[in-house]
Amino acid sequence: MSIIKRRGHSIREHWLGVLAILVALIVWECYAAFIIRNSFLLPGPGDVFLAFLSLAEKGILLTDFEVSMTHFAIGLLFALLIGIPVGIAMGWNRRADEFFNPLIEILRPIPPLAWIPFAIIWFGFTPVSAGFVIFMGAVFPILINTYAGFQGVSRIFVEAGRMLGCTRTLDQIRFIAFPAALPSVVSGIRIATGVGWMCLVAAELFGVSNNGLGKDLWFYYDLHQMDCVVVYMLILGLIGLVIDMIFRYYIERHFLKWRTGEVA
Partner 1 sequence: MGKLEILNLNQSFLRDDGTRLAVLENISLEVHDEEFVCILGSSGCGKTTLLRLIAGLDTAGSGRVILDGEEIRGTSPKVGMVFQEYSLFPWRSVIDNIAFGLEMRGTAKDERYRIAERYLDLVNLSQFRDSYPSELSGGMRQRVAVARALALDPVLLLMDEPFGALDAQTRNMLQQELLDIWEATKKTIVFITHSVDEAVYLSDRIVVLTPRPGRICRIFPVNLPRPRDRTSPEFAQVRREVLDLINQNCATQ
Q: Which residues bind partner 1 (CB under 8 A)?
A: 156-157, 159-167, 171, 175-176, 179-180, 182, 257-263
Residue 40, φ and ψ in degrees, nearest 5: -80, -45
Contact criterion met (CB below 8 Å) for 196 and 78: no
Collect all residues with Cβ–Cβ distance below 8 Å to 51 and sequence separation of at least 6. 43, 225, 227, 228, 230, 231
CB of 66 or CB of 159, closer to partner 1: 159
Of 102 and 261, CB closest to partner 1: 261
Give the integer Cα–Cα distance in Å for 71 and 201: 11
Region of 263 on the Ramachandran plot (φ > 0 left; ψ -120 to 50 alpha; else beta): beta
Q: Give me the least distance between CB of 168 and partner 1, in Å please.
A: 9
By beta-carbon proximity to partner 1, the closer residue of 12 and 257 is: 257
CA–CA gap between residue 182 and residue 253 (Å, rounded): 13
Amino acid, single-letter form, for residue 251: I
Rounded to a whole number of angstroms, the minimum distance from the CB of residue 166 to partner 1 is: 5
Decide whether 122 or 258 has the Cβ nearer to partner 1: 258
Q: How far is the CB of 167 from partner 1 (least distance, A)?
A: 6
CB closer to partner 1 out of 119 and 186: 186
- Burial group, residue 9, by CB count within 10 angstroms (0-12, 13-18, 19+): exposed
d(CA 155, CA 90): 16
CB of 106 within 8 A of CB of 165? no
Cβ proximity to partner 1, 131 vs 183, nearer residue: 183
C-beta of 102 vs 165, nearer to partner 1: 165
Buried b (16+ CB within 10 A) or exposed e, 104-121: beeeeeeebbebbeebbe
Q: How far is the CB of 179 from partner 1 (least distance, A)?
A: 4
Q: How far is the CB of 246 from partner 1 (least distance, A)?
A: 21
Provide, rounded to whole angstroms, the least separation between the CB of residue 139 and partner 1.
26
* Minimum distance of partner 1 from residue 84's CB (angstroms): 17
Q: Which of 252, 220, 247 has its CA nearest to residue 233?
A: 220
